[in-house]
Structure 1
Amino acid sequence: MKRLLRTMVMGSLILSLLLVGCDSGGNSTNGSNGAANTPQVKPTELIISAAASLKSSMGEVQTLYEGKNTQVKLIINYGSSGTLQQQIEQGAPADLFISAGKSQVDALLEKNLMVKESVVNLLGNELVLVVGADNTEVKSIQDLSKDGVVKIGIGTPESVPAGKYAKEAFTSIKLWDSLQPKFVMAKDVTQVLNYVETGNVEAGVVYKSDAQGSTKARVVESFPADSHKPIIYPAGIVSATTHKAEAEAFLTYLQSSEAQDIFTKYGFKIAGK
């Protein structure tokens, strides 16, 4: 019995020593390799409020920028410029705002909600009429007056810059009043394009950059440049940002030739050109 007890005690002691040794060895390994104990630095999350029409191009910009700046993660919130403006006014987090219209940025500047000296005219665009890829009835803007055209998609003029430009253009060419019963209002240009692509409307008014990326819709005609105010995409830093340096760096990148080349590939114009 004594021999059995001694064997059991010795076995327990040996096991304990082995466990302590393993733990000590693990600590020693971590101590000699500082990288194992170094906490991962979490990237700075930069929130960008961007007009819905920028979605495709900004996706490519985001990939390139994050690849070169691993310390920054871009969180992009897309929507109609009017909705994004309201979100910023109501205190929603945002570091940078890229609008499809000047009035939204001007409204935020009046309330000191954007850094005035940071605001730049980033991009330009073109207003076009689109129809479904198989639509052969509508061959011009004037054809919208035909009885066969029942629904025309446009952005809500009060909140969607593309809708505001559309109203200006139709008013200029004397079609606004007669076509008004046909208009189907949308929350943004992406929705207008979707209405056209799915056949829910016979035609729609969008930006050239939106139409360029579609395989289910085609451009019928561009609206005369002098029929509406110049289409400008201003961008600037939101006053409430807690990452001003990172926001400034990204805004600078958006104006670089690399980023501008991406935007022009998607149908945008370089502002001022």
Structure 2
Amino acid sequence: MPPVLRRAFFAFLFAFSGPTSALAQQKGPLVLAAASLQEAMTDAANAWARKGHPRPVLSFAASSALARQAEAGARADLFASADEQWMDYLQGKSLLKPGTRARLTENRLVLVAPAQSRVNLQITRNFPLAKSLGSGRLAMADPAAVPAGRYGREALTKLGVWTSVAGKVAAAENVRAALALVERGAAPFGIVYATDAMASRRVRVVGTFPAASHQPITYPVARLATSRHRDAEAFRRFLISREGHAIFLKRGFGRR
């Protein structure tokens, strides 16, 4: 190849590979976060970026699905779960960096209906949920694996209602998918977190489940053993800081 063409060729490679490499280096840590954290974690990532750091890359799904991804070797940096059980699962497999697990925030469980619905229900023991559903379905995250679904099943069981509605459950892959079923009118009722209801104008809260009807809804966060990003620990500390906590409070989450 003539020298002139060779110089042009390498200039072309530099022009296209240089910026791409720079952009790759500018990506922030990869965060696997429970679906219900979507707005709050996005706010936190934006706030972190405004401080001059590369913006974290966020991946939202059910905590169960994310934990399985981490178990399968996903090269992620942080995991924020909607319950302690899936964090325990990863810790039991030595997939967390020791000493990095911390409580991030808390949530509440609510019953929602489409915004235009006028049905009223008081959530008490043996409340007539099955009767109110009629031929409709109860939208909730998969009660066999997803935290929101497990909390919901536990609450309905303690309230003496589960057996009457178990056959009417529309099990969704995560809590946001359950919320979407109610938003579209595909289900007359759904069980979601209070923060999910707050994030949607297309549903209304029918009632809040008594705190004593289910285990406390706590969100832990930790660094994964695969974490290599230089900002991962700093962003984790930011999330659990007073400033980070205020971001979650603004989105309706509770105290740590």
Q: Are 1:260 and 2:245 an aligned pair?
A: yes
Counterparts of 1:143 and 1:128 in 2: how far apart (Å)? 16
Q: Which residue of 2 aligns with 1:106?
A: 88
Counterparts of 1:210 and 1:44 in 2: how far apart (Å)? 28
Q: Secondary structure at the match of 2:99?
A: helix
Q: Which sections of structure 1, spanning at least 5 residues, go unmatched?
A: 1-38
Q: Please give the residue correspondences for 1:226-237 in structure 2 after superposition, counting only pairs within 5 Å.
A: 226-237=212-223
Counterparts of 2:225 and 2:107 in 1: how far apart (Å)? 27
TM-score between the two structures when normalised by the length of structure 2: 0.86
Contact 2:27 2:57 in 1 (8 A): no
Q: Please give the residue correspondences for 1:1-273 in structure 2 after superposition, counting only pairs within 5 Å.
A: 42-70=25-53, 72-141=54-123, 142-146=127-131, 148-149=133-134, 150-243=136-229, 245-271=230-256
Q: Which amino acid aligns with 2:68?
A: Q
Deviations 1:154-194 (A, max 9, x none): 11022210000001000100111111111100011101111
Q: Secondary structure at the match of 1:130?
A: strand
Counterparts of 2:180 and 2:165 in 1: how far apart (Å)? 20
Deviations 1:200-233 (A, max 9, x none): 0000000001101111101111111011100000
Counterparts of 1:104 and 1:192 in 2: how far apart (Å)? 20
Q: Secondary structure at the match of 1:145?
A: helix
Q: Secondary structure at the match of 2:74?
A: coil
State the aligned residue count.
231
Over 3 Å counting, the alpha-carbon distance change for 1:147 and 1:214 in structure 2 is closer
Counterparts of 2:179 and 2:204 in 1: how far apart (Å)? 10
Task: Decide which structure has the larger Cα Rg and report it.
Answer: 1
Deviation at 1:137, TM superposition (A): 2.3
Counterparts of 1:101 and 1:64 in 2: how far apart (Å)? 25
Identity of paired residues, percent? 35
Q: Which amino acid aligns with 1:162?
A: A
Deviations 1:239-268 (A, max 9, x none): 11112x421100110012222111111110
Over 3 Å counting, the alpha-carbon distance change for 1:147 and 1:260 in structure 2 is closer
Contact 2:129 2:161 in 1 (8 A): no
Contact 2:110 2:206 in 1 (8 A): yes
Counterparts of 1:221 and 1:116 in 2: how far apart (Å)? 39
Q: Which amino acid aligns with 1:259?
A: G
Q: Secondary structure at the match of 1:76?
A: strand
Q: Which amino acid aligns with 1:66?
A: A
